[in-house]
Chains A and B, each alone.
Chain A
């Protein structure tokens, strides 16, 4: 780079020459005028003095003109140098390479000032690079925006990375090309300050962000420079929803545990009632017989009652034990060929008396006369059919009907037990197979039985790798459908 030619300091020369001449002529004139009278000059001497004063006055004026011209030239020279310095500062402010690197040479008289500016500039550059490192190392995204067109003036690495672009591709672009705010940018820019939500369309998908925008007012109160800090909250939001989901699940589980606890307490009370009731008449009547209190003619009747209650007790205890055994699969059950049609007929016959007592009609017309065999455990299948039929009778209305059906369909045996009873509310549907759940059939809050019948049925169906379905309409009735694999 060639050095700019240094302007000649003519003004300075004029000042250097003019000022002493000016001083000398002032002094001379002062001398001549002050001692005018004391010299007492006459004639030719006086003429000489007058001429001398005239010449010295001319000299004074010439010197004055030279000093004035020198001052003017000197001032213009300084102004030029100041302009150069200001221009240099302006280009440094715009981030252009410093033109002051050869300041002493180019800026002549102001070279020391230029040096000071240069030192300050370098110090500022150091700070700038320090803060730029912070700016680029920050995990959050920083943007500097021109408010009018919402164009990006500066963006840090985090932002460029998020949008998957180079910095040059981002600068000068409208910010709306990359960032969408839920509120919209126009509204966000008028408000500022508050935390806003939005998203960034990146190459890998949508990034959810939280944005805070700072506005700096210009001289006339208008928005001037705009800083936007954007934070990626995708992970936080997904963790938050995951946490929320889990805590809701936990709360639900806790509720369920509480419900189970309640059911358990209730179950123990019920168990006591259900097991004690048959025991009361069993023990009482045996005591009467043993102590000889009863009339001999009554004794067969007493024994009949004892037997009936003993059977009831046996059934309850077996149900309880089986439920525990089945749900823990502790026992290997022997599977054999079982004629489900015959089993259903026998089961229904055994319950005819109980049904008649409740004035419930048993309709077996849809149960085939010939064999429909499945592979299963005889006792468990008896229990399954018995529990379904007992429920259908128990939860029926007086004068109601239980329709039992059995058919072969697509290689399966399909058993249906439909009652015309109270039905099950939709809200209770999910709970009916729960252990210890009992339906409030009377609407008085009194619950019948131990609440293990359907739970046991479900366990038995599971044991046979079958399927159970329930359909119900409150006030119309409930139908249970059990599907088991049929044998040829």
Chain B
């Protein structure tokens, strides 16, 4: 099986570098986008759909949740990749809002890297079964 393709949408470049490093170390292919516009242009030209979306909520030109909605509105049931939402906002309403847009998991950005990797692997496994 080829490397899982992860689409990482994160505007803070250091945070993006961190997740990128962690995911690459696990042998995954990572595409990094810094905002909605960049993500949409990548999406339009992508060779294959990503196996997982890791999305930050607060992006410079919009909201990560709305972006997911926009990207996946035309995808068929079998083609929807799982979504992992990351946020640094301490908003208690966030998990339920994430479920509304069809995100499978929500994580606070300060969670440990071990938990992050475990969550990513769990979502990839679920998808392949």
Contacts and interface: CB of A to CB of B under 8 A. Distances in A.
Interface of A: 268-269, 272-273, 276-281, 283-285, 287-288, 291, 293-294, 298, 302, 305, 308-309, 442, 444, 446
Contacts of B60: 442, 444, 446
Interface residues of B, number: 22
A458 B112 CA distance: 40
Given A287-B112, A287-B113, A293-B22, A276 B14 contact: no
A302 B113 CA distance: 15
A308 B14 contact: yes
A446 B18 contact: no
B55 to A, nearest CB: 15
Given A276-B90, A284-B19, 8 more contacts: A277-B109, A279-B110, A280-B110, A283-B110, A294-B25, A305-B14, A442-B61, A446-B60
B91 A269 contact: yes
Contact of B21 (A277, A298, A444): A298
B25 A293 contact: yes
Main secondary structure of the interface of B (DSSP, over half): mixed
Nearest to A305: B14
A298 B21 CA distance: 10
B88 A272 contact: yes
B17 A281 contact: yes
B15 interface: yes
Contacts of A281: 12, 14-15, 17-18
Interface string B51-65: 000000011111000
A427 B22 CA distance: 46
Nearest to A306: B14
Given A272-B88, A276-B109, A305 B22 contact: no
28 contacts: A268-B90, A269-B91, A272-B88, A272-B90, A273-B89, A276-B90, A276-B109, A276-B110, A277-B12, A279-B110, A280-B12, A280-B15, A284-B15, A284-B19, A285-B18, A287-B112, A288-B21, A288-B22, A288-B113, A302-B21, A305-B14, A305-B17, A309-B14, A444-B60, A444-B61, A444-B62, A446-B61, A446-B62
B61 A269 contact: no
A282 B21 CA distance: 14
A398 to B, nearest CB: 13
Contact of A284 (B18, B25, B58): B18
Contact of B88 (A280, A288, A442, A444): A280
A280 B109 contact: yes
A239 to B, nearest CB: 48
Nearest to A273: B88
Contact of B113 (A277, A278, A284, A308): A284
Among B18, B19, B22, B25, the most chain A Cβ lie within 10 Å of the Cβ of B18
A241 to B, nearest CB: 46
Contacts of A279: 110
Contact of B22 (A268, A269, A284, A308): A284
Interface string B82-121: 0000001111000000000000000001101100000000
A283 B19 CA distance: 12
Nearest to A269: B89
